[in-house]
């Protein structure tokens, strides 16, 4: 009997056979707010999820093999280290070998959490490393977390050209964070040009919310100016996971961008009242419903089948 290798393209060194043949996806930033919901959603959809992060999610076991919220494994790496990214996308001993898709959510989120140059460097370098590793390893199913901040947030002093906001509006980053997201989308455009067979979807997530945060929405109901800065948008983290899942399953090719928000605004006041107070003089195309989102999700609905399931008032 001829000797056998201790590993294969689909079985890592030291990995026990599991008798499963699931699609495997790496989710960077899997320990974060959006990441945890995405990991759970994809696991429930039948993916084997490898969570990649520099920190551990709440409730994880000491050995890092359980309490992962649906993930099969957590791999702790620095995404600014290209060698670590390549190795992790290839194989990890006793865990897995080979992946089918990558979801890149990891970033230093929102401005003001660290010095701006560090935020820009970290976010752009990690995105480059992810895209370049996927190119080198011929991984052609990629989803990136972009941001609603590209639409010109905080709209002061520059008002939106019209409402609702759509993907056709000019991208206007107003911070190092949003600039890093613009660079990420620009890189994605070029990676898709280099390889006509690749699919890269950039999801411009609105302000991500967990169910337990909806009680805080009462704090701004009497003063809409507290939340005008993103047109009163939000996205339930669970619906964020759905958007990622729909993107992974999409059969399109090339680079595509989608605004991802809830069906409604975070306000009880009607859009007519809100726009009149916060955006006087801005062209407003009246929405079908009085509280429909002003961050249009029609493109995501039409092209990837996104359909938000959660509204904040239904969760109180």
Question: Over pLDDT 90: what percentage of the chain?
Answer: 87
Compute the distance between CA of residue 178 and CA of residue 122 in angstroms, rounded to an integer. 13
Compute the distance between CA of residue 133 and CA of residue 119 in angstroms, rounded to an integer. 21
Per-residue pLDDT tens digits for 192-204: 999 999 999 999 9
Per-residue pLDDT tens digits for 76-104: 999 999 999 999 999 999 889 999 999 99
- Answer with the residue of higher pLDDT: 20 or 120: 120
Neighbours of 117 (CB within 10 A): 9
Within 51-101, residue ranges assigned H as helices are: 82-90
The CA–CA distances, whole Å, from 147 to 133, 151, 292, 300 equal 22, 8, 20, 14
- The reported pLDDT for the residue numbered 112 is 87
* Mean pLDDT, rounded, of the chain: 96
- The reported pLDDT for the residue numbered 171 is 96
Place 10 in a pLDDT band, splitting at 50, 70 and 90: confident
Residue 283 above 70 pLDDT?
yes
Place 19 in a pLDDT band, splitting at 50, 70 and 90: low
Residue 236 tokens, joined? 């339930």
**Span 26-55, mean pLDDT?**
97
> Dihedral, CA atoms, 90, 92, 98, 102, nearest 10 degrees?
-70
Phi-psi label, residue 86: left if phi above 0, alpha if psi -120 to 50, beta otherwise: alpha
Where are the domains positioned within the chain? 24-210+234-265+293-311
Under CATH, which architecture does the 24-210+234-265+293-311 domain have?
A: 3-Layer(aba) Sandwich (3.40)
Per-residue pLDDT tens digits for 136-148: 999 999 999 999 9
Per-residue pLDDT tens digits for 201-236: 999 999 999 999 999 999 999 999 999 999 999 999
- Supply the pTM of this predicted model: 0.96
DSSP assignment of 249-262 equals H----EEEEEEE--
**Span 26-32, mean pLDDT?**
98
300, burial (CB in 10 Å: exposed 0-12, middle 13-18, buried 19+): buried
Residue 254 tokens, joined? 């090339």
Residue 61 above 80 pLDDT?
yes
What radius of gyration, in Å, describes the C-alpha atoms of the chain?
A: 20
Per-residue pLDDT tens digits for 235-265: 999 999 999 999 999 999 999 999 999 999 9
């Amino acid at each position: 009997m001829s000797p056998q290798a201790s590993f294969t393209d689909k079985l890592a060194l030291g990995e026990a056979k599991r008798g499963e043949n699931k699609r495997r996806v790496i989710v960077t930033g899997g320990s974060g707010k959006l990441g945890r919901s995405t990991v759970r959603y994809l696991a429930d959809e039948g993916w084997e999820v490898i969570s990649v992060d520099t920190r551990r999610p709440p409730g994880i076991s000491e050995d890092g093999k359980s309490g992962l919220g649906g993930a099969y494994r957590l791999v702790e790496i620095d995404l600014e280290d290209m060698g670590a990214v390549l190795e992790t996308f290839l194989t990890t001993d006793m865990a897995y070998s080979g992946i089918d898709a990558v979801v890149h959510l990891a970033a230093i989120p929102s401005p003001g959490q660290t010095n701006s140059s560090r935020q820009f460097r970290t976010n752009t370098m990690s995105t480059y490393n992810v895209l370049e590793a996927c190119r080198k390893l011929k991984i052609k199913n990629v989803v990136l977390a972009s941001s609603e901040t590209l639409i010109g947030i905080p709209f002061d002093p520059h008002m939106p050209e019209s409402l609702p906001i759509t993907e056709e509006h000019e991208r206007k980053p107003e911070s190092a964070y949003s600039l890093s997201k613009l660079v990420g989308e620009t890189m994605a455009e070029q990676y898709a040009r280099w390889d006509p067979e690749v699919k890269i979807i950039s999801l411009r997530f609105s302000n991500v919310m967990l169910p337990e945060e909806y009680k805080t929405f009462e704090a701004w109901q009497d003063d809409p100016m507290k939340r005008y800065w993103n047109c009163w948008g939000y996205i339930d983290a669970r619906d964020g996971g759905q958007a990622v899942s729909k993107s992974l399953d999409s059969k399109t090719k090339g680079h595509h961008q989608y605004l991802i928000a809830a069906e409604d605004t975070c306000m009880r006041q009607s859009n007519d009242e809100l726009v009149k107070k916060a955006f006087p003089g801005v062209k407003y195309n009246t929405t079908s419903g009085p509280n429909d989102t002003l961050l249009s999700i029609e493109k995501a609905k039409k092209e990837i089948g996104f359909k938000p399931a959660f509204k904040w008032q239904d969760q109180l």
